[in-house]
Structures are given as structure tokens and as C-alpha cells.
Amino acid sequence: MKLLLIGSGGREHALAWKMAQSSKVEKIFVAPGNGGTAIENKCENVNITEIKDLINFAIKENIDLTVVGPEDPLTKGIVNEFKKAGLKIFGPAQNGAMLEGSKSFSKDFMKKYNVKTAEYATFTNVDDALKYLETCSYPTVVKADGLAAGKGVIICVNKEEAIEAVNTCMVDDTFGDAGKTIVIEEFLEGIEASILSITDGKTIIPFLSGKDHKQIFDGGKGPNTGGMGVMAPNPYVTEEVMKDFEENIMANTLVGIREEEFDFKGIIFFGIMITKKGVYLLEYNVRMGDPETQSVLYLMESDLVELIEAALREELDKTTVKWKDGVCINVVLASKGYPGNFTKGYEITIDEKVKDKVFLAGAKLEDDVLKTNGGRVLSVIGCGSNVQEARKEAYENIKYVNFKDSYCRTDIGIHK
């Protein structure tokens, strides 16, 4: 098989690495890819980003299957366009992708199909939103409705912070069109968990859970980022939590997907909050998470390409996913200054003493030299039979990965 993988992050490097292991795969073109996919086995980067150009490339190269990494092309209808051209593609069509593309759409969907979630209100007018802040309880959460690269969710401790958050979205246009509509949501206290899943529209198979570490500094302090590291499986996702999730969130979501007749053969990622009152859904994503993918796929024993093919054939009900035992931790090595201003273009060196895998994200290959090209530069993997072993290995591996002004959290995988 010849595959086309769309995207350029650490998630895409992990997907490329995993799919390249399939005996069915001869070649993977990654569009546009990064420094990691440039040097990965069976992979070649192609500098194409426009949907029409990707379609032309897939036809010209006789691509057997296209896999979409990021959310942006999914919400723009890439799956619909590929299917119109008679091409095989893995991901939800545009209507299903709205579960991530619009917070208000997804919250209304949750409410309609009795998916357990926080109370909320939606606003398109700044005065109405500010008026609502007079009566809501605190802390509260202000969310930009559209895609904001994982940065459009603001937790507000008091009314002053909430006013600032509303103005940031609706007046200052910090998130552009994504912030023209906002959702103000009840704050849920508890432990977050990520549950990536695969669906064919009739069956959902959950993958191993993950525990993301969003804030930039140790102890969950400082501004939110795209994610500074992940532990999988998440130790807080007990059998009881999983049962609650499957009965009150996953099953009802599947009913909604069927009832709304979404053409959804792809990944559905549930961001959940485990509270004293049970498990609540925070949000849907319609693609693999980053950096969750790096840990979850590292523990997957099954052939990912075969899983994707089963989903496209609507045969997930006959499929089981196999997992390796143990724990996988990935620690993100970022450019100093991220998520604010940072410098690009520093050389990256990866010593052969690294025991596990390094997945590259904000990195490019220039004249056969890997260089930093983003805020979150790479993820360093560590595995073990338990959390302590996995943590030790990840931080041991980090000693052998270097670039100027690198920064990482030192507490990934620590839990109370």
C-alpha cells in the first residue's frame, strides 16, 4: 500500500512511525511532514497543504489510503472532497468534524443526546456575555467557539478574570473568528483524562487512556500549552471510571452520531473530567491528540493500518485492539519561551544511547541537519512496567537529546 498522511506535528511523526511498521505498507507520503517524518522508515515528505493539491497528488501517485492528522482540514471538509474524487480517506466528514470545530455545536449535541457534561451558555453578543458573568458562579470557564490551537479555553477564578477572558475572545479578537461566539461553562473540579477511540459510525473502540499535562510549569502552573507530556495509561481511569464513561458518554455519543447520520469513520477523542459526582465530558476532538498519540501508539500492539481498514469497512464490531503491558511516558522538550516568544533554528542532536523513541514535532531537516522549528520541538519516550520505571527511563533518555535553550517539565507522570 501507498499511504498519504496529512499533517506536520509530533502526532503525525508517531502515526507515520506506527503505520510504517505494517507489512502492508510500502510507502508513506507525509504532507507537509516535519524533520521526524523526513528521516522515518518508508516515509517521504511532500510540501503540499491545499486540499485540491492533495487530491491531485493522491490521484497521480495512486494512493491507496489517506489518513488525516490535524483537525483543521477535517473541519474544512477534506474527507467530503476526497470521497467526491473517489479516494479512500480515514477521518470524519465535515458534519461530524463540527464536534470539534464548534464548541457550541458540540455542547448542544451533548445536551440533545444526554451526554454527561457541564452546564453552559452560548453567546454571540459581548454585552449579553458580560451580563451573564454577574450571576454565574466562580470559578467559571470561557471557551472560544472555534478552533484556537488548544489555547481557546480560559479558566477564570473570579468575575474580573472572566470579563478579561470574554473581552480577549470577543473584543480583542485574539482568536480571530474562533472567538466571535463563546461558551461560558460551569467549572468542574477533578482529574482530566484523555480517551482516544476509533469509530466506524456503528461501533466505538476506546484506546488506552492518557494523562496530559497542559500547563508549561511543574505542578500544573503557568499558561496552558498544547501539552507538555503524557502518561498512558492514566492511573485515575479505573474500571469504575471506564464503566461510567462507556455508559454515560461513549454510548450516548454513538447514538448521536447515528441519529445525526454523521459520516464518521475516524478517531473520536473524549476529553473527560473525573469528579466526585462521576465522569463528565469536557470536549470532543475528532483526531488523535498531541502528545497523547506518542504514548498511546507506542503501547499499541495491533497493526494500526488494519484497524483503519476495519473502520472503513464498518467491521470494528469484529475487531479487538491489542496492547503491550506497562506504562509509557512521553516528555515534551520545548523551546525556551514557549508558549510565548521563542527562537527557532537551533541544531538538534539525538544520541544513539536513547533507548526508546524520540518523536519530532516542531523540527525540520535542513541540509541533513535537524533544527528546531516550533515551540514544542519533540517528545522523548520512556517505558517501564510501572510509572516509576517509565519516568526514570524518559528522563534518562532526555539527557541524550540536546538543542540550545531546551526546556521540559520535570514532573510528567507524577501523580498523588
Looking up cell 474527507, which residue turns up? 79
Instruction: Judge whether residue 199 has pLDDT over 90.
Output: yes
Paired residues of 169 in beta bridges: none
Domain annotation covers residue 292: yes
122-142 pLDDT tens trace: 999 999 999 999 999 999 999
296-334 pLDDT tens trace: 999 999 999 999 999 999 999 999 999 999 999 999 999
Q: Which CATH number belongs to the domain containing residue 51 in this structure?
A: 3.40.50.20
Domain annotation covers residue 33: yes
Predicted confidence at residue 416, as pLDDT, reads: 62
Predicted confidence at residue 223, as pLDDT, reads: 87
Reported as a pLDDT band with limits 50, 70 and 90, residue 173 is: confident
CA atoms within 13 A on the CB side of 354: 20
C-alpha cell at position 291: 502528545
Predicted confidence at residue 66, as pLDDT, reads: 98
DSSP type of residue 231: E
Domain annotation covers residue 352: yes
Q: Is 413 left (phi over 0), alpha (psi -120 to 50) or beta?
A: left
Predicted confidence at residue 153, as pLDDT, reads: 87
Q: Write down the mean pLDDT value for the chain.
A: 95
Which of 145, 164, 186 represents a domain boundary (last residue)? 186
Domain containing residue 82? 2-91
Q: Which CATH number belongs to the domain containing residue 232 in this structure?
A: 3.30.470.20
H-helix segments, 192-238: none
User: Do 272 and 162 belong to one domain?
Assistant: no
Predicted confidence at residue 148, as pLDDT, reads: 79
What's the maximum distance between 2 C-alpha atoms anywhere in the chain?
A: 60
- What is the CA 4 to chain-centroid distance, rounded? 19
Predicted confidence at residue 174, as pLDDT, reads: 85
Reported as a pLDDT band with limits 50, 70 and 90, residue 150 is: low
- Per-residue pLDDT averaged across 212-237, rounded? 94
Write the DSSP assignment of 75-123 as a string of letters: HTTHHHHHHHTT--EEEE-HHHHHHHH-HHHHHHHHHHTT--B--EEEE
Domain annotation covers residue 106: no
Domain annotation covers residue 110: no
User: Do 199 and 251 belong to one domain?
Assistant: yes
387-416 pLDDT tens trace: 999 999 999 999 999 999 999 999 999 876
Percent of the chain with pLDDT over 70: 99
Instruction: Judge whether residue 220 has pLDDT over 80.
Output: yes
- Per-residue pLDDT averaged across 116-126, rounded? 93
What backbone torsions phi and psi does residue 280 show, to the nearest 5 degrees? -120, 150
Closest by CA position to 201, among listed 75, 82, 107, 93? 93
Percent of the chain with pLDDT over 90: 94
User: Do 85 and 132 belong to one domain?
Assistant: no
User: Do 253 and 194 belong to one domain?
Assistant: yes
User: Do 220 and 196 belong to one domain?
Assistant: yes
Between helices 304-312 and 10-20, what is the axis angle to 10°?
A: 90
Domain annotation covers residue 360: yes
C-alpha cell at position 124: 454571540
- Per-residue pLDDT averaged across 153-173, rounded? 92
330-359 pLDDT tens trace: 999 999 999 999 999 999 999 999 999 999
Which of 170, 186, 202 represents a domain boundary (last residue)? 186
Alpha-carbon distances of 355 from 384, 392, 395, rounded to whole Å: 12, 12, 11
Reported as a pLDDT band with limits 50, 70 and 90, residue 200 is: very high
Reported as a pLDDT band with limits 50, 70 and 90, residue 152 is: confident
User: Do 162 and 207 belong to one domain?
Assistant: no
User: Do 268 and 314 belong to one domain?
Assistant: yes
- Per-residue pLDDT averaged across 30-48, rounded? 97
Domain annotation covers residue 302: yes
Domain annotation covers residue 272: yes
State the DSSP H helix or E strand holding residue 169, giving kind and residue range, or none if neither: helix 159-170
C-alpha cell at position 408: 521540559
User: Do 205 and 298 belong to one domain?
Assistant: yes
Round to whole Å and give the CA distance between 252 and 231.
27
Q: Which CATH number belongs to the domain containing residue 169 in this structure?
A: 3.30.1490.20
Which of 156, 186, 216 represents a domain boundary (last residue)? 186
Q: Which CATH number belongs to the domain containing residue 388 in this structure?
A: 3.90.600.10
State the DSSP H helix or E strand holding residue 332, giving kind and residue range, or none if neither: strand 327-335
Instruction: Judge whether residue 87 has pLDDT over 80.
Output: yes
237-269 pLDDT tens trace: 999 999 999 999 999 999 999 999 999 999 999
Domain count across the chain? 4
User: Do 195 and 283 belong to one domain?
Assistant: yes
The answer to whether the pTM exceeds 0.85 is yes
